Every structure is written in structure tokens, then in C-alpha cells.
Amino acid sequence: ISRMHFQWDWLCLSVLIMSSVTAEIENEENQDTDIEVEDFDKESEDHDIGKDMSPLGVVYQTPKPTGEVYFTETFDGILAGWVLSKTKKEDTDDNISKYDGRWEVEELKENTVPGDRGLVLKSIAKHHAISAMLTKPFIFDDKPLIVQYEVNFQEGIDCGGAYIKLLSSSDDLDLEYFFDKTPYTIMFGPDKCGEDYKLHFIFRHKNPKTGEYDEKHAKQPGVDIKKFYTDKKTHLYTLVLKPDDTFEMLIDQSVVSKGSLLKDMVPPVNPPKEIDDPNDKKPDDWDERAKIPDPNAVKPDDWDEEEPLKIEDPDAVKPEGWLDDEPKYIPDPNAKKPKDWDEEMDGEWEAPQIPNPKCETVPGCGLWVHPMMNNPNYKGKWKPPMIDNPNYQGIWRPRKISNPDYFEDLHPFEMTAVSAIGLELWSMTSDIYFDNFIICSEKEVADRWAADGWGLKKLIASANEPGMFTQLMTAADDYPWLWVLYILTLALPVGLCVLFCWPAKKIDEDIDFKKSDIPKPVTKGELEQEGQELEDDEIELEEEKQNKE
């Protein structure tokens, strides 16, 4: 029974380890949640754009919003309503100040969905700016704001962004002059330079006292978002702002950051009630020293500050065989003066020094000196011991006064209305793909929009994934510790085969009793025969013993 339990323990352990490997791979592919791609609406069957067949046999149809929206864009038709900037970037060299970066509308390079096109940033090391008016302005009152769009870094990303700006409503807003100083209300999206991977959420808050605007930055996500910039897949970015002054940032419909507009922005929306008095000065006699030298301490009479730290070891003896008259280094006897050596220009030529071969087999060569040792009488410069300062007053801080610039905005959600969307970007990598923009107030509308667009891209990308072996190797490259699990997983079947199939050695054949082994009545003749056999066996054993001796 114990042997059977041991075998079942090994079997359960193998199942658990193999399950953990599979779960790790699936977790990397689908972060926290999977998005189910719904069937397409029959309502969109009569759409006149995009009815090509995907590799999975699914007909792509341009997504249509299912509720109230403030802006949508799929880029599947003509690029209507979008305006290229004709201005220049300020405070920049003239040769790169123009917004002359090129945009194209085209399909994805990989995992292509036939008929599904997006806006692609094509130029390297150039400024790009393009914008479009919303269908109707969004006013921050009692409805949430949901901003959602897709990004694919088709060539990876070295340094550049893929964020969007929601431009503030104003009478003088001219999209042809959209540039980096154009007032915006919200900036949201991915950005990367070097090894700094960011997901921006910035909003411009209006100071109710001065009327000036300050940028408030959300804290960066606490999860690793590097894979979204490097895997060359299409990812869905969503920002949700709620009238209760909270926000959420999502990637592929999984929350990566959330918080409060009042508590989780840097700098805070509301300034402190009190500030340090700028006119308060530290008194000259203010004592901040916690410890001071003991004024009553006296240097001991036997304290000798002249004793050196190191002295010669008086007990050291020169090793036998030491060659005092032999130098450590000698001129190389095989060296020859170069033919182009000019003594007038280069000076007198001397052969390079090499270690003296006579010193290799002896303790040493040259003048022997006593080695140095720590001086037992060394005490160094005397200093009085430190004691608590009786006059210690603590670290001085200026007194607090009421903040003359204090205000309290209890509802920072009530931002400046937005009437346009724009992309104002610089990138050192080309082919950044944007698609399926939507601005709305209902989560169901955004989710359905995502299912009809990004969901199909995700489905096709999953179908085109490499085999399990390639995925395992790729995962091990990112997480080397997986090799341990792989080795254990391969070794377990071998161990289990040995454990279950190898014949067990019988220690005693009489351990297992059978019904046929139950004693039966024995006759007198049988007893005499068995007795004779035992005597014969004893005689044979005695003869074998004598032969061995």
C-alpha cells in the first residue's frame, strides 16, 4: 500500500509541474483576461466597404458604433476629416522643425485582416501632426469619458510615442496650425525611449484662482508593460474617466492602472493649505548638533600621536637563498635595436627589461628589506569623545503659514471640454499603426467596438501563432528558470516508467500467501518421506561445508 501511495504521489507531482508550465505560457499570451470575439452583427452586412475573407474564413466588416459616440474612425474608407499640420515646432532647429512626417493608410504587415486598414506613421526622425474634429464636443458633466484606440509597433520601437491628444475647445482652434503648444485637455497613450516604457495619462487642470493651466500626471502602471512595445502585435489602449473623479487605464481590456484624480496625480490637483514661511530665517544661535565633543575630556599622558601606523617587523629574517646582488629585472639579451631608430630623435636605445631568470628559483632578488607590520602602539590623533549636546534644539524648520495660493477643487473631472483629437509625435521608428478610434460614454459601446475590430485582429494573430515547441523556447528565452521545469517534465515520464514497470525484487517469496498455501492434513508416510529428505539435505550441507574448509 505504501508503495502504491508513493507512485501516486509521483504521478500527481508530474501533473502539477506540467500544468504550471502550460499555465505560465498561457499567462504570457493572455494577460489576466481573454476577450471573446463575438459574432458580427447582421446589421453591418450591407456595408459597402471591407468584405474580404480572412484566413479563418471570417468576413471582415468595418465596425459600426452601437450607441452614442463623440468620435469614431476606422480608416477603412477615404481619409476624410483629417487635417495635416502646416506649421512648425517652436524652439527647434529649422531643418527639423516642420511637421513634414509622412502618414499612410494601409493594412498591417503581419497578421493582416483583409480589408482592415489603419493610419500608419511612416517617417523616421521627423515631426508628425494630424488631427480631426469630433462629431460633437465632449463636455465633462455627468457622463464618463471613454477613449479607446489600437496601436501596433510593427517594427518595434526605439524612441517615440503613440499617444493621442484631446484638444481643448476654443473659438480659435485651427487644425492646420496644430502643434506641440496647442492647448489640450487630455493626453493618453504609450511612449518609450531607451528602456523607459511609459503609459501616459496627463490632464491639464485650470487653477480656479489664477486661470492658469498645470499638467497633472498619473502614476505609471505597477505592472511590466514592455511586451506591448516589443511583440509586434496590435494592442488595445483604453482610458476611462468617471464623474466620481476616478480613472482607469487598460491594455487589451485588462486594467493596468487606476486611481483618483484627487489623490493619485503628480503634482496633486489641490495645493497644501499651509506652506513654509519664505520670510522665516533660522536664528544664528540655533544649535542643530545632536552630539558634541566632551569639553571636559583630557588627552591621556601616554597618548603618543607620533607613533606611525606601520613599522618594520623586527622578527622578520631574510630567507635563505636570497640573491642580494642580482637585480629583479635585466635587459632583454635577445632584443635588438630597430633599424629605424634615430638616436638624435629618439635618444639612446635601451633594451626592454625582462624578469631576471635567476630569480625564478630563489625566494627573491635585490636589496632585502624588513616587511611592514601594524604598529601595536599606534593610536592616531587624539579626539575627545562625543556626548549628547545639552543645548540641542533639533533640526530647524521654518514656521507654517496659510498658503495664499490655496484652493480646493473637489471635482477635477469637470475639465475643459474637448472638440478635436490629434496625434503630434516624433519617432525614431517607422510603421507605427493606429486604428479604430472611438470616444464614447458607455462601456458596452466601447467593448462591442473592440470586439468587431481589435477582437478579430487578436483572433487571427492567435491562429498564426507558432507551435507549442517554439512558444516554449521563446518563453524560456524570456524566463530562463523555465528550463528547470522543462527538464523535470521530461525526466518525470522516464522516472515513472522505471518506477511502475521495473520488476520489484522479492525479499521473501513467502510474504504473499495464497489460498493454495493453506496447510492440508499430512499422512504418516508423507511425514517419514519429508524427514528422510531433510536428513539428505543436512548431509549435503555438511559435505559442502567440509569442501569449503
Domain limits, the chain = 69-271+411-464
State which H helix or E strand residue 268 sits in.
none
What is the per-residue pLDDT for 489? 80
Residues near 424 by Cβ (< 8 Å), separated by ≥ 6?
Answer: 85, 99, 127, 128, 129, 165, 178, 179, 180, 182
Residue 515's pLDDT is what? 47
Residues in the chain, overall count: 549
DSSP H helix total and E strand total for the chain: 9, 25
pLDDT per residue as tens, the chain (549 positions): 444 444 555 555 554 555 554 544 444 444 443 433 333 233 333 334 444 555 566 678 899 999 999 999 999 988 889 999 999 888 777 777 889 999 999 999 988 888 999 999 999 989 999 999 999 999 999 999 999 999 999 999 888 899 999 999 999 999 999 999 999 999 999 999 888 899 999 999 999 999 999 999 999 998 999 999 999 999 999 999 999 999 999 999 999 999 999 999 999 999 999 999 999 999 999 999 999 999 999 999 889 988 999 999 999 999 999 999 999 999 999 999 898 888 888 889 999 999 999 999 999 999 999 999 999 989 899 999 999 999 999 999 999 999 999 999 999 999 999 999 999 999 899 999 999 999 999 999 999 999 999 999 998 888 877 656 666 776 677 677 777 887 878 777 777 777 777 655 544 444 454 444 545 555 555 555 666 666 666 667 776 766 766
CA atoms within 13 A on the CB side of 108: 25
Question: Which amino acid belongs to residue 323?
Answer: L
State the cell numbers at 297: 575630556
Chain CA centroid to CA 50, Å: 38
Quickly count: other Cβ atoms within 10 Å of residue 176's Cβ: 11
Helix, strand, coil % (nearest 5) of the chain? Answer: 25, 25, 50
**Cell 511590466 found at:** 224
Q: Give the integer Cα–Cα distance in Å for 205 and 241.
A: 14
Find out whether 215 and 251 touch, Cβ atoms under 8 Å. no
Three-state SS at 504: coil
- Please report how many Cα atoms fall inside a 13 Å half-sphere around the Cα of residue 434, on the Cβ side: 24
- Full 3-state SS string of 289-350: CCEEECCCCCCCCCCCCCCCCEEECCCCCCCCCCECCCCCEEECCCCCCCCCCCHHHHCCCC
SS (H, E, C) 332-400: CCCCCCCCCCCHHHHCCCCCCEEECHHHCCCCCECCCCCCEEECCCCCCCCCCCEEECCCCCCCCCCCE
Per-residue model confidence (pLDDT) at position 471:
64
Residue 21 makes CB contacts below 8 A (sequence gap 6+) with 472, 482, 485, 486, 489
Query: What is the Cα–Cα distance from 331 to 341, expressed in whole angstroms?
Result: 18
Question: What is the Cα–Cα distance from 389 to 375, expressed in whole angstroms?
Answer: 35
| Residue 113 and residue 204 in contact, taking contact as beta carbons nearer than 8 Å | no
Q: Which three cell numbers stand for residue 526?
A: 508423507
C-alpha 287/C-alpha 303 separation (Å) is 32
Q: How far apart are CA 181 and CA 167, in angstroms?
A: 11
Dihedral, 496, 497, 502, 508 alpha carbons, nearest 10: 30
Can you tell me which residue has the cell 597618548? Answer: 303
Q: CA-to-CA distance for 357 and 475, rounded, in angstroms?
A: 57
Residue 61's CB is within 10 A of a number of other CB atoms, namely 22
CATH classification code of 69-271+411-464: 2.60.120.200
Confirm if 371 and 312 have CB atoms less than 8 A apart.
Answer: yes
Do the Cβ atoms of 74 and 292 come closer than 8 Å? no
82's enclosing H/E stretch is strand 82-84
**What is the C-alpha separation between 477 and 488, in angstroms, rounded?**
17
pTM of the model: 0.64
- What confidence score (pLDDT) does residue 194 get? 82
